[in-house]
Structure 1
Amino acid sequence: MRITENKKFEWFLKKFGSPIHSQIATQETIEKYRNRLPDALIDCWTEYGFCSFLDGLFQIVNPEIYKETIPTWLKGTGLLEIDTFHVFARSGFGELFLWGEKTGQHFNIEILEGSIFDNGSDENYINKEGSSEAILNFFTVLKPSSLDIEDINTEEPIFQYAIDRLGALADDEMFTFEPAPFLGGEQTFKAVNKVNFFIQNEILASMGQREIMDIKCLANKAFGK
């Protein structure tokens, strides 16, 4: 079955539209990650390549290009000892979505926050239903609004404003705030800028913050507990 014939991925495409900036996934890359990443993701690469949606708000990426970002953020956290992780997608604000070979979409790296978000392990689900069903669930629940960031003063989404002012994102670009929020910057329209993702990643990762967060931690942080 082609990935576009899958109902879960079809729902993803209804929300995100047709892909842009597609780059062909070579057979070498496909074979390297076969049996390490879900078949459904490999099928997506085969049909669409590595591509962007909504002017770069969401990208399905080549994990080979992003492999150095994982130890940069996860070294010293203990997470590298529990699973083997690969970056399979990212947002226009640099949020990295990781796939663990055993635990699935367990962690995101939120580089503008200097933190690692714990979604909870998918290991039990994967063992029962398979990795393809697990990653298709990720695509099903993903929403454009969940990838956007709001101005802290107006509560208005920033991404479209940034596109209008700075232009659509290339494959190696992201929007950031200067300075980044975890360095004291503010998420505002006036602070947004477009930068090279890999340079920005290296700069922010070098600042040393490695806070692992989950839903409970975020709630406590939001309400000052």
Structure 2
Amino acid sequence: MQKRKFVWMEQYRQRFEAVLAKFARGGESTEPCAPENAEKYNGHLPESIFYLWDKVGIGVFRDGYFQLCDPDKYRPVLRQAFGNDPDLDPDKTYPIGFSAFGEILAWNEDHRDVRIALVDSFVSCRWLLAPKQNIDPNITLLTSLLLADGASQDPLDENGSPLFPSVRSRLGILERAQIYGFKPILALGGNRTADSLTVYDALPHMSILAQATQLKLMDLKQYPPKLVRMIG
């Protein structure tokens, strides 16, 4: 992938640096690996994601909590999850990365950042529900990436405790294209406990979750979150 040169406005610089610090690879000496044929995403994704791919590539970050991924590889999951949704067209939506539990962060050409929480069967899209004006798409994407390992991306167990610390300790740090998942999945009666989690290959397990139940579009700005409509 050809290296890009960016001239960022000073007001954005701290945010870019914060994202780079979050996804730093420590002492690794290998060259960052961008998605295959990344230039095909020109005009479809904000410029900042190309900058991030140049600097850190795709793969596992934050002790396995989040992975940056090749959008095309995981787009079939969105086709299964969204179906013929009138607003969220899977052909205009690009997976950017996913959490340790398979929650996908994606970019939609019309509605910007989209969160697909497959374990809990919901989708959120702030821009779809409350469009804003005059905000650079790069800032929208970078803000989402800064929150990529936030507590809201860690499913809670049946007692309301975060699952990631205990499952990482028991099963180890994930490798590229792996996620933690319940066995059996919750939609088929699985238990929401750390002991019920195992390691899966990400793509086939995400596909199973996407087909297991119809997803809900949720407004997360309200408390408790409000159901807007069903997806599809």
Q: TM-score, normalised by structure 1?
A: 0.81
Contact 1:150 1:158 survives alignment (8 Å) = yes
Q: Secondary structure at the match of 1:11?
A: helix
**1:7 and 2:5 are equivalent in the alignment:** no
Q: Aligned in 2, Cα 1:10/1:166: closer, same or farther, shift over 3 Å?
A: same
CA apart distance, 1:214: 1.9
Aligned amino acid, residue 43 of structure 1: Y
Q: Secondary structure at the match of 1:108?
A: strand
Mapped partners of 1:136, 1:110: distance in 2:
19
Q: Secondary structure at the match of 2:128?
A: coil
Q: Aligned in 2, Cα 1:212/1:122: closer, same or farther, shift over 3 Å?
A: closer
Name which of 11, 33, 51 aligns with 1:43.
51
Mapped partners of 2:101, 2:7: distance in 1:
30
Which residues of structure 1 form unaligned runs of 5+?
A: none
Q: Secondary structure at the match of 2:34?
A: coil
Q: Secondary structure at the match of 1:128?
A: coil
User: Match of 2:166?
Assistant: 161
Contact 1:8 1:139 survives alignment (8 Å) = no
Q: Aligned in 2, Cα 1:179/1:2: closer, same or farther, shift over 3 Å?
A: farther
Aligned amino acid, residue 219 of structure 1: P
Aligned amino acid, residue 59 of structure 2: C
Contact 1:83 1:103 survives alignment (8 Å) = no
Name which of 152, 157, 164 aligns with 1:146.
152
Cα displacement string for residues 27-79 of structure 1 (whole angstroms, at most 9, x for unaligned residues): x6221011110101111011111132122211111102112111111003323
Contact 2:46 2:137 survives alignment (8 Å) = yes
Q: Secondary structure at the match of 2:112?
A: coil
Aligned amino acid, residue 185 of structure 1: G
CA apart distance, 1:166: 1.1
Worse overlay, 137-146 or 84-93: 137-146
CA apart distance, 1:123: 8.8
Aligned amino acid, residue 212 of structure 1: L
Q: Secondary structure at the match of 1:70?
A: helix
Q: CA RMSD in A?
A: 3.0
Aligned amino acid, residue 90 of structure 1: F
**1:134 and 2:140 are equivalent in the alignment:** yes
**1:177 and 2:177 are equivalent in the alignment:** no
**1:19 and 2:25 are equivalent in the alignment:** yes
Q: TM-score, normalised by structure 2?
A: 0.78
Larger fraction in helix: 1
Q: Secondary structure at the match of 1:90?
A: strand
**1:119 and 2:126 are equivalent in the alignment:** yes
Which residues of structure 2 form unaligned runs of 5+?
A: 1-5, 228-232
Mapped partners of 1:115, 1:179: distance in 2:
19
Cα displacement string for residues 107-141 of structure 1 (whole angstroms, at most 9, x for unaligned residues): 2111112222233339954x623221221222344
Worse overlay, 171-180 or 85-94: 171-180
User: Match of 2:66?
Assistant: 58
Contact 2:60 2:174 survives alignment (8 Å) = no
Mapped partners of 2:223, 2:92: distance in 1:
24
Aligned amino acid, residue 25 of structure 1: A
Mapped partners of 1:66, 1:217: distance in 2:
31
CA apart distance, 1:2: 8.1
- Superposition pairs for residues 26-105 of structure 1, below 5 Å? 29-81=37-89, 84-105=92-113
